[in-house]
Amino acid sequence: MLALTDIWAIVPIKDLHDGKIRLSSVLTPDERALLIEAMLDDVLSAFAEYAGMRVLVVTGDVRVAEKAAQLSMEPLIEAVCQGESAAVEAATSHSIARGAGGALVVPADIPLLGAGDVATVVQRAPAQGTLLVPAWDGRGTNAAVRRPAGLFPLRFGNDSFLPHRAAAESTGCPLVVMRNDQIALDLDSPVELRRFLEIDRVTRTRRVLDTFNLERRLA
């Protein structure tokens, strides 16, 4: 299948210093901030290496916008920070107005994402319809392609996959559910940190986590 070259990537991230509250039992606020930035760097690096689509980074953080611009990606600054779902839909509308035929949404906390994973997602996406990549536990949605981009609204949260699947099915268009171990692992909980640290993969996120000496905290 030929890759669909009119798909835009949308990466939502509120800011670099406020988030990952579920990790507060094992990480300090400063450590969480470093982790958030490292994961964003890994995600943006994957898209930069893929270099096959326009990337829109929606954020309320000037530093994030600067990172995006340095990688020739387009920052979309939120005047007022919204929730992730609202930010994604605002970015979707922006991409449609700029000519996007489809949209690939990937959160900024998928540290194992690689250029090859992005390529696979784009290649397997239907010409019209939806592709979803569930989180490792089957509850969340860690990547979503909609073509056309406004096919249905995305509503993110801890249990977004089944609602997204139902919404995609209700359109009557083809739906692809793709399993991908790299995309499936986001870092929201101590359990996911443990899973990530068991994987032998050099990433910015891994290098940062290795400086935290987490063995006792995760025991």
Q: Is 135 inside any structural domain?
A: yes
136: domain CATH number? Answer: 3.90.550.10
Q: Is 1 inside any structural domain?
A: no
Banded model confidence at residue 216, pLDDT cuts 50, 70, 90: confident
The b-or-e profile of 196-207 (16+ CB within 10 A means b, else e) is: beeeeeebbbbe
Q: Is 65 inside any structural domain?
A: yes
Task: Identify the domain containing residue 110 by its residue range.
Answer: 7-210
Q: Is 219 inside any structural domain?
A: no
* Per-residue model confidence as pLDDT tens digits over 165-207: 999 999 999 999 999 999 999 999 999 999 999 999 999 999 9
pLDDT exceeds 50 at position 1: no
Q: Is 138 inside any structural domain?
A: yes
Q: Is 192 inside any structural domain?
A: yes
Q: Is 107 inside any structural domain?
A: yes
The reported pTM is 0.95
82 Cβ neighbours under 8 A, 6+ residues apart: 90
Q: How many domains are there within the chain?
A: 1
- Helical ranges in 98-212 per DSSP H: 115-124, 161-170, 181-184, 190-197, 204-210
Q: Is 137 inside any structural domain?
A: yes
pLDDT exceeds 80 at position 219: no
